[in-house]
Amino acid sequence: MVRSYFHLHLVSDSTGETLINVGRAAAAQYEGVSAIEHVYPLVRSGTQLERVINEIEQAPGIVLYTLVGHELTERLEEACRATGSPALSVLEPVHSLLQSYLGAHSTARPGAQHMLNAEYFKRIDAMNFTLAHDDGNLPVDLDEADVVLLGVSRTSKTPTAIYLANRGLKTANIPLVPGVPPPPVLETLRRALVVGLIASPERIVQIRQNRLLSLKADEDSPYVDRDAVANEIATSRRLFARNRWPVIDVTRRSIEETAATIVDLHREHRMKFIAT
């Protein structure tokens, strides 16, 4: 397949995270097409905007923006029309809908979603907890966690835990090692949601082989033996079933998809915990 490319300019008066997520999610729907991203965060003055416009003039393409200043918006749209670059305010349709429904007007506050409020500090606290409880560390206070992830090596426990922490969930992860029993405290947890992660033996072997290759380690090991890996996964399945812990197969799931499922499971678990 011949791949084509286009320039995608993302102009934001904040961090640009919203635009990056929206732009990538939309561009991913088009096979054979890739975006060359130009990201311009914290654009809050005319001088900064003129630098952005110069870049757009050098490489015209699609322009997505989140600018709350009226003058900046008008100048950017004017420049886009001059270069033939389609431009869209990503948040404007949402603002219009909210204003119509709420009967109120928004206040222009660049980066308002990143204010240092209680939710922000909750996420920082969750991240600190998660990093301190990575890979089986400090299991004695697991019941302070919101989520505990279990799984054999290379089931994406750490990246999933960090993603959940960024959503404000204190997440610990514990590896299941052959011949090593899991911490007994797991079976007495009440507050924390325990989730088992599994993947196909083929997928686990592939990831482990790449891991050993990067470390220049000996590949003649049960760590990458298909039958040994299959036995590890079967043992973990029995553990999860015995304790009635929910199981997620991450073989074909992205970290984001796995985390979204866990967030839903945690919401249900929390409601049951509150009810009891």
Q: What digits encode the pLDDT tens for the residues 43-55?
A: 999 999 999 999 9
Q: Out of 59-63, 147-151, 215-219, which region has the weakest mean confidence (pLDDT)?
A: 215-219
List binding-site positions: 151-158
Distance CA 246, CA 265 (A): 8
Task: Express each pLDDT in 141-193 by its tens digit.
Answer: 898 999 999 999 999 999 999 999 999 999 999 999 999 999 999 988 989 99
CA distance 189 to 206: 33
Per-residue model confidence (pLDDT) at position 138 = 80
Quick one: 253 exposed, middle or buried, by C-beta within 10 A (0-12, 13-18, 19+)? middle
Across 210-215, average pLDDT = 83
Task: Output the pLDDT for position 111.
Answer: 54
The sheet carrying 171-175 orders its strands as 171-175, 147-151, 193-198, 247-249
The interaxial angle of helices 157-166 and 255-275, nearest 10 deg, is 60
Q: Name the pTM for this structure.
A: 0.73
The CATH number of the structural domain formed by 4-113 is 3.40.50
* Mean pLDDT taken over the chain: 90
Q: What number is the average pLDDT over the span 269-273?
A: 82
CATH level 3 topology of 118-275 = Rossmann fold (3.40.50)
In 3D, which of 47, 107, 56, 95 has the Cα closest to residue 79? Answer: 56
C-alpha angle with apex 258: 10 to 193, nearest 5 degrees? Answer: 130
Computed over its alpha carbons, how large is the radius of gyration of the chain?
Answer: 24
Residue count of the chain, please give it.
276
Task: Return the number of other C-beta atoms located less than 10 Å from residue 114's C-beta.
Answer: 11
In 7-148, alpha helices (H): 17-27, 46-58, 70-83, 92-102, 118-132
Q: Where in the chain is the domain with CATH 3.40.50?
A: 4-113, 118-275
Q: Point out the annotated binding site for ADP.
A: 151-158
Cα atoms found within 13 Å of the Cα of residue 15, Cβ hemisphere only: 8
